[in-house]
A and B are shown apart, each in its own frame.
Chain A
């Protein structure tokens, strides 16, 4: 069962990497990052169930909290970028060095 969970976690992680690299829509890129975190959580939970140790569950709780704070920051970034450029294209967001 542990091996099946690890294999599923690797497959989901690879799908997340593919989505993160090959898409240009920033909302899809953000959700791919969340998929990466979820794949890691899945393997952590499987390991904790296999070792009968709940430390790994605490680590995945911490990861979920980090994902929540990341979500808040990403949402405000979406709002700011969409207000300035009226687009979701990641290639257009290069205004970090410019004075607008």
Chain B
């Protein structure tokens, strides 16, 4: 019962702050409200005992990626003249949500009708670093190596892209 109340509060916070994120005019406002979304999603991870993913979400998303975005927004020194003048922003948002709403309604209806609650019995150490790490380094060792190569390529690519050519 407690879990349902906490889930409802966190879900409302996540939905409201993501709506603020897509509708704010200045990018700094949307970045700050996106941090709220990410932290509440991390708390939702913790609610289902995924403790390692909770820590990773806080450190990597809310810590590293969002502070990178905030740094870039502050470095670029964005004035109002640099922003696109989205005069019909609200009309666009309403129209697109009218188009997207039927699809999400169909998906939600499908989820509510289906019989998917399996509820396996979780082990004592489920979701800890040991459990996730053992799975990562036994079954998923090839994707792990590929991801490390991908990170290297992305870092080298971003350095070459942002280099000043003269």
Q: Does B48 lie within 8 Å of A49, measured CB to CB? A: yes
Complex Cα spacing A64 to B24, Å? 25
How would you classify the secondary structure of chain B's contact residues: helix, strand, loop or mixed?
A: helix
Q: Does B135 lie within 8 Å of A54, measured CB to CB? A: yes
Chain A residues near B154 (CB, 8 Å)?
Answer: 69-70, 72-73
Q: Does A67 lie within 8 Å of B127, measured CB to CB? A: no
Q: Does A7 lie within 8 Å of B111, measured CB to CB? A: yes
The residues in A between 47 and 100 inclusive whose CB is less than 8 angstroms from any CB of B are 48-55, 57-58, 60-62, 64-73, 75-80, 82, 86-91
Complex Cα spacing A8 to B101, Å? 14
Chain B residues near A41 (CB, 8 Å)?
Answer: 41, 53, 57
Top 4 nearest A-B pairs (CB, nearest first) are A19-B22, A69-B154, A89-B84, A52-B120
Q: Which residues of B contact A (CB under 8 A)?
A: 3-4, 7, 11, 14-15, 18-19, 21-22, 24, 27, 30-31, 34, 37-38, 41, 44-45, 48-50, 52-53, 56-57, 60-61, 64-65, 68-69, 72-73, 75-76, 78, 82-84, 86, 89, 92-93, 95-97, 100-101, 103-104, 107-108, 111-112, 116-123, 126-127, 131-132, 135-136, 139-140, 143-144, 147, 150-151, 153-155, 157-159, 161-162
A-B contact pairs, 24 of them (CB 8 A): A5-B44, A7-B111, A8-B14, A12-B18, A12-B41, A18-B93, A22-B22, A25-B86, A27-B27, A27-B69, A41-B53, A49-B48, A51-B118, A53-B120, A54-B132, A57-B50, A58-B143, A61-B53, A67-B60, A69-B151, A69-B154, A70-B154, A75-B162, A89-B84
